[in-house]
């Protein structure tokens, strides 16, 4: 799994990134995956635009958002909502992360 990167983009105003990081670590352990996890703090609207940041927390695997329904945006700083299997979440649920890992890390 060389050269694969999981990136969490987050803001200090949205606390859900910490639970997201914990869940990512749990999924990597369950799937026996060891890859780099990069944390990117977004502090300004300029950074949000540069990163096409749809809100905190955002999880990307090798540059691809784990939520296929998400459109990259040039929006500002704020929290985001995840929809998975008909439910709303304040951070990506474990099963969404697992599915994304299995799909996006296939090579």
At 37-93, the pLDDT tens digits run 999 999 998 999 899 999 999 999 999 999 977 766 655 688 888 999 999 999 999
pLDDT band at 6 (very low <50, low <70, confident <90, very high): very high
pLDDT digits over 31-43, tens only?
A: 998 899 999 999 9
CATH number for the region 5-104 comes to 3.40.30.10
Q: Omega before 57 cis (within 30°)? A: yes
Contact 93, 22 (CB under 8 A): no
Give pTM, 2 decimals. 0.89
Where does 8-106 have alpha helices with state H? 17-30, 45-50, 94-104
Show me where the domains of the chain are located.
Answer: 5-104
Contact 67, 92 (CB under 8 A): yes
pLDDT of residue 36: 92
Tokens found for residue 9: 């983009």
């Amino acid at each position: 799994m060389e050269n694969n990167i999981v990136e969490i983009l987050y803001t200090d105003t949205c606390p859900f990134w910490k639970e997201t990081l914990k869940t990512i670590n749990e999924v990597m352990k369950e799937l026996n995956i060891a890859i780099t996890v990069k944390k990117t703090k977004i502090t300004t609207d300029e950074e949000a635009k540069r990163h096409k940041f749809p809100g905190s927390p955002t999880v990307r695997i090798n540059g691809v958002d784990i939520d296929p329904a998400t459109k990259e945006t040039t929006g500002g700083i704020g929290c985001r909502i995840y929809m998975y299997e008909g439910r709303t979440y304040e951070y990506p649920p474990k099963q969404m992360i697992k599915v994304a890992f299995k799909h996006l890390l296939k090579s």
